[in-house]
Structure 1
Amino acid sequence: MNTSSQAPITSSELANLWIAFQEKTMMLRVLEHFIEHADHEGKQLLLSYYNGATKNIEKITSIFQQEGAVIPIGFTENDVKKGVPKLFDFLYDIMYLYLMTKVEMSLYALFTGMSYRKDMEDLFIGMTTESQLMNSQTTQFLLEKGVLVRPPFVSMPKQVNFVQDKNYMDGFKWFSDERSLNTVEVSLIHHAIETNLVGMQLMIGFAQVAADKEVQKYFTEGMELSKKIEIDLGEFLRQSYIEPPATHAGKATASKVAPFSDKLMMYNTNFLTSFGLGSNALGSGFSLRSDLPAKMALNAKNIFTFAQDGGKIMIKNGWMEESPQIEDRNQLTK
């Protein structure tokens, strides 16, 4: 029961707190495995994120308690195993943190805009800032190590132009005057390929250690989907004589011993799949070439089907914790 003088939290604030709790508790478990095996200077980055996430979970828990809400289960020590071989090698831990903080920056900024109570705004502004800082630090670390590929450099524009060609929105055609990609399109493709490369290695590692055969098959399908997206989008860059991003770092090891529960690995996959859907929508919305949005729409369809299949597996195994529900219309108070 809310005993403070503040207004009760809204349904959107409750939902966003719940999502943040799930994501942050999952991140703690993943980082516990990474920190155990980190033998490079990037370990301090992992520890810094871990400590910050722990404090944010405490803040969210306190709000739940103040509002008289049950504390979600999220992910606990039962979802990670200590003392097992590392599942990923050579800076994948930092590449994973780089990817997840990319997602968090968008997620928590969105939650800030959906908050009305001052303490809710402050919480999510703080979490957004922390994610931005950590993403910046992991970006610079990976660049210094030579494992993060920058997008291509281009000549700076010298004048402002407006589109005159009526065929500007047509797709690319070999040996024709159709336009190559513009910088907006290149940036979106580069981002999509970069995230799918990290995601593909995650699926390879998860598939190697999943206990349930159906879950193992699902992760294999995720690996193949990430690979297909990377190849398809990479072809757009090659048509404009741009080499797609690639890295020699961050590979899954040969370990067959699971450091994480199938439940955690499925949730992590579902979380990133949802982000993939949003990224595809963004790419489709900002591209004016007819062939690129068409390809991204097809990718989105495949990602959506993959996400649905994952949800069914999670429900079947009792792994999908239910978000707070509105029982009847009387709960919709103003």
Structure 2
Amino acid sequence: MEPTDIPLTSSELGNLWMTYQEKTMLLRFLDYMLEHAGNEEIQQILKSTYASSEQTVESIKQIFQNEGAVIPLGFTANDVNKGVPKLFDYLYEPMFLHMISKIETCLFALYSTMSYRKDIRQLFKQLTTTSQELFDQCAQFLLDKGVLVRPPFMSMPKEVTFIRNDNYLSGVNLFKEKRSLNAIEVSLLHHAIETNLTGMQLMIGFAQVANDKKVKDYFVKGMKLSKEIETTLGEFLREDYIEPPATHAGKATDSTVAPFSDKLMMYITNLLGSFGIGSNALGGAFSLRSDLPLAMARLAQKILPFVSEGGEIMIKHGWMEEPPQVEDRRQLTKS
């Protein structure tokens, strides 16, 4: 039996649907970015990303058509406004794609492990590779320009050692002195702060241009939440005399003209918030000093209601497209 003769599973259908939403959103961002990016190297990255994203959208459309499934709406030309002033300044384009490529790499790698039909596995495997390549391109470009801060360097270990007592886990006990951070904890903190810095500028820009008052207020909340996350996690680094990452590039301009629909801006904010919950869970799981998971759990308690509020706003305005729904057979049990 050929792979395409096997029906899509629920996980394959759901993950293809979510990929279609994310990729059509990205295409609208690229429509806007291609209009403003002056650097030739950035233009090439944007054009390459546009071509691969467009191809992915067409591939998913074809799969849905072959399965007799309706094509999702996603995001269209109605969600981007061309000819408006630039909302973000110097080098924000590769900084945004650097952030998006992190999310895509994680999502598509996960989706590939949730796929069973050969053609779907191959699709997500290729998407994972493409996202990693985009990350490499953006990271190298930003490093060359001096706007991407590397995590701190540290002395290389000279011998293998083992944890001998539970003092290593101390962090909240007032009678035990906090140990210094280990390399794993520093890497997780740096990653979370780096992503939030880019996201915070996105929230500032969105807050300036949103049309709906509640949507504007929501982005202001997002801006403040990003700052709180950066400040809270950055303090752990400062306690060890490590300076948190920061950059002079990619700031929001003073434009008040929206390049995107409120619907699109709400979607990307929801996506970043959901990714933030996952990142915090990962950071908490791999941190051995007990005060770090506690701090990340407290932040997650603020991110989760923020994401939920965003969902409520989207539903109220009719902006949240409904995912494919399982047939409701519960009625059959009622007589």
Whether these two folds match at TM > 0.5 is yes
Partner of 1:25: 24
Partner of 1:94: 94
- Give 1:308 deviation, angstroms: 0.4
Partner of 1:186: 186
Amino acid at match of 1:203: M
The answer on whether the counterparts of 2:30 and 2:46 sit within 8 Å (CA) in structure 1 is yes
Amino acid at match of 2:238: R
Provide structure 2 residue ranges, at least 5 long, that are not aligned to the other structure. 331-335
- For residues 167-209 of structure 1, the C-alpha deviation after alignment (integer angstroms, 9 at most, x for no partner) is 1111178997531100000000000000000000000000000
- For residues 9-43 of structure 1, the C-alpha deviation after alignment (integer angstroms, 9 at most, x for no partner) is 00000000000000000000011101100001311
The answer on whether the counterparts of 2:171 and 2:177 sit within 8 Å (CA) in structure 1 is no
- For residues 209-239 of structure 1, the C-alpha deviation after alignment (integer angstroms, 9 at most, x for no partner) is 0000000000000000000000000000000
- For residues 112-146 of structure 1, the C-alpha deviation after alignment (integer angstroms, 9 at most, x for no partner) is 00000000001000100000001001000000000
Partner of 1:324: 324
* 1:54 aligns to 2:54 (yes or no): yes
Partner of 1:12: 11
Equivalent runs, 1:96-245 vs 2, <5 Å: 96-171=96-171, 177-245=177-245
Provide structure 1 residue ranges, at least 5 long, that are not aligned to the other structure. none
What secondary structure does 2:69 align onto? Answer: coil
* 1:284 aligns to 2:289 (yes or no): no
The answer on whether the counterparts of 1:35 and 1:46 sit within 8 Å (CA) in structure 2 is yes
The answer on whether the counterparts of 2:84 and 2:258 sit within 8 Å (CA) in structure 1 is yes
Partner of 1:34: 33
Distance 1:117 1:297 in 2: 37
Amino acid at match of 2:33: F
Percent identity over the alignment? 63
- For residues 234-260 of structure 1, the C-alpha deviation after alignment (integer angstroms, 9 at most, x for no partner) is 000000110000000000011000000
- Give 1:164 deviation, angstroms: 1.1
Amino acid at match of 1:327: E
Amino acid at match of 2:190: H
The answer on whether the counterparts of 1:108 and 1:127 sit within 8 Å (CA) in structure 2 is yes
- Give 1:166 deviation, angstroms: 2.1
Equivalent runs, 1:238-257 vs 2, <5 Å: 238-257=238-257
The answer on whether the counterparts of 2:105 and 2:128 sit within 8 Å (CA) in structure 1 is yes
Structure 1's 172 and 159: CA in aligned 2 closer, same or farther, altered over 3 A?
farther
The answer on whether the counterparts of 1:172 and 1:179 sit within 8 Å (CA) in structure 2 is no
Distance 1:63 1:137 in 2: 29
What secondary structure does 1:42 align onto? Answer: helix
- For residues 291-316 of structure 1, the C-alpha deviation after alignment (integer angstroms, 9 at most, x for no partner) is 11100000111000100000000000
